[in-house]
Amino acid sequence: MSRRHAIDPALFVEQITAHYPHERCHLDWDTTRPWTLLFAVMLSAQCTDARVNRVTPVLFRQFPDLEAYIAQPRELLEQCIHSTGFYRMKARNIHLTAEQLLTQHRGTVPDTMEELTALPGVGRKTANVILWNLYGKNVGFVVDTHVSRIAQRTGLTEQHSPEKIEQDLMRQLPQEAWGEMSHRLVQFGRDTCKAPVPRCSTCFLASSCPKRSVEKSR
């Protein structure tokens, strides 16, 4: 990838951090029950964080512990999460994950990539969210639609698959910044680097961003 057609990674981190110094996970969860973050992230697949945050208060009241996900009918779980989409598959994965957390991990959320991705419905993206937000571990870079779009427009990647985009970002951005940057980029994508039309005229990166594949902007 030619560096002439990409934003400087150090400048990118500096400016994003300056504009979003205090970003955190945008999903609501209960710090006394770490598995609530895991389930919230699982529900966020193909669904907005705002929608998930409307669903989880009721869900976590009706299913207050891991045992409840096993004891109560799966149909009730499906009803609770119906509006998040793909609710049957998500209910199945949450049910099986609750079971595995209890039987294989003594009710705790694992703290390694290998153990997390062995859970039903948990991929690298979900595992990266958990490892950073629960354990402060920068093992990988969370790549969602916002991060993918921003990385491509700024020229930090020419890839399209989340796995390859993650590898490009991990090579170019400092490891200690991975977790916090992922949250910052989500907000930046919502505020400015929108899909399909970004707000380039008011963007603080306008003078340094190559605006790759941006055909129309505001």
Structure token pair of residue 27: 């999903």
Handedness of CA 45, 49, 55, 56 (dihedral sign): positive
Name the DSSP letter for residue 85.
S
Active-site annotation holder among 144, 168, 211, 216 = 144
Handedness of CA 149, 155, 156, 157 (dihedral sign): positive
Active-site annotation holder among 49, 90, 125, 168 = 125
For residue 208, give the amino acid letter. Answer: S
Please tell me whether the overall predicted TM-score, pTM, comes out greater than 0.85 for this model: yes
| Ramachandran region, residue 107 (left: φ > 0; alpha: ψ -120 to 50; beta: rest) | left
Alpha-carbon gap, residue 120 to 109, rounded angstroms: 13
Asked whether 163 and 142 are in contact (CB, 8 A), the reply is: no
For residue 43, give the amino acid letter. Answer: L
Whole-angstrom distance between the N-terminal and C-terminal Cα of the chain? 27
Distances in whole angstroms, Cα of residue 104 to Cα of each of 17, 35, 36, 67: 39, 14, 18, 14
Please give the pLDDT value at position 181. Answer: 97
144 is annotated as an active-site residue: yes
**Local structure of 150: helix, strand or coil:** helix
Alpha-carbon gap, residue 140 to 176, rounded angstroms: 10
Alpha-carbon gap, residue 193 to 185, rounded angstroms: 9
For residue 173, give the amino acid letter. Answer: L
For residue 215, give the amino acid letter. Answer: E
Residue 36 pLDDT greater than 50, yes or no: yes
The pLDDT mean for the chain works out to: 96
Tens-digit pLDDT profile for residues 66-105: 999 999 999 999 999 999 999 999 999 999 999 999 999 9
Alpha-carbon gap, residue 144 to 50, rounded angstroms: 15
| CATH T-level assignment (fold) for domain 35-108 | Endonuclease III; domain 1 (1.10.340)
Tens-digit pLDDT profile for residues 105-120: 999 999 999 999 999 9
Alpha-carbon gap, residue 168 to 66, rounded angstroms: 37
Please give the pLDDT value at position 215. Answer: 87
Residue with tokens 């934003």: 7
